[in-house]
Amino acid sequence: MKNGEKKITIFEKQKIRRVWNKKKECWYFSVVDIIAVLTDSINPTDYLKKLRKRDSQLASYIGTNCPQVEMLTETGKKRKTLAGNPEHLLRIIQSIPSPKAEPIKLWLAKVGYQRIQEISDPEKALNRSREYWQKMGRSQKWIQQRMMGQEIRNKLTDYWKSNQVNESDEYAILTNIIHQEWSDLTVKEHKNLKKLKTENLRDHMTDAELVFTALAELSTRQIAETMKTKGLSENKIPAKRGGRVAKNARLELERKTGKKIVSDTNFKSLQKVLR
């Protein structure tokens, strides 16, 4: 596992070790540290062993999903430590019989219920997204462009899904081709430019970036429908061509205005002000 910067985060005044995984672009937290915070156990390592012994399904889940990650000990030495990303930790927390874990369990139940509602009534998901962006301080104009772009994106992924493109990895490959073609940056490079990590890139795009991303994905879908492409290999062609349509439009606008479309602007500072 390739790891990036190592940091310690504070949870209820207690330290939790974490490591940024550059490849997967997510934080991995020390499972033992989480156990210590939520249980007040004097021996969290032993507590975790007993928890895994008592719950065979949890033990299997941890063994399959949670890697050993190098982290600093209290003495300053590096040791391999059982770690999990936020998804893994939420699963583990569900099995911890502790009053401190109860608020998180209640939150998970609420989120799960909301997700069930959204499946039966997609409009609820749209309304929650709109409320989320409003709380983040986005303008009505930005929100409309973001939602328009999402609808265009959904139609593109619907086409991929119906034409033999694998959602798990191949969506990301095609998305990256489109993005690099129109912006001259990979998705990762664009996130780095904006100094983003776990944040959604589109939630930090400017109005112009949203418009050109939407144009690239709209063009990709229409070209794919015309070519009747199937599978990853065939769909790489409309991905490049669709991205190129948006790139040509971007370059033309940049020539006319003298302003760059791709920006290092993000909304992280605005979010801090709103908290």
What tens digit of pLDDT does each residue of 63-119 get? 999 999 999 888 888 899 999 999 999 999 999 998 888 888 887 788 788 878 877
Residue 248, domain extent: 137-274
- Per DSSP, the chain holds a count of helices (H) and strands (E) of 12, 5
pLDDT at 274: 44
Of residues 268 and 161, which shows the higher confidence score? 161
pLDDT at 107: 77
3-state SS string for 127-149: HHHHHHHHHCCCCHHHHHHHHHH
Question: Is residue 93 domain-shared with residue 158, that is, in the same domain?
Answer: no
Question: Is residue 255 domain-shared with residue 191, that is, in the same domain?
Answer: yes
- Asked whether residue 91 is assigned to any structural domain, the reply reads yes
Alpha carbons 194 and 265: distance in angstroms, whole number: 6
Question: Is residue 158 domain-shared with residue 55, that is, in the same domain?
Answer: no
Decide which of 47, 66, 97 is a domain's last residue: 97
User: Angle at Cα 239 formed by Cα 238 and Cα 245, nearest 5°?
Assistant: 80
Task: Report pLDDT digits (tens) over 228-250.
Answer: 999 999 999 999 999 999 999 99
- Asked whether residue 74 is assigned to any structural domain, the reply reads yes
- Asked whether residue 267 is assigned to any structural domain, the reply reads yes
Per the structure, how many domains does the chain have? 2
User: Span 42-46, mean pLDDT?
Assistant: 93
pLDDT at 259: 96
pLDDT at 224: 98
The tokens for 178 are 């489109």
Work out the mean pLDDT of the chain and round it to a whole number.
89
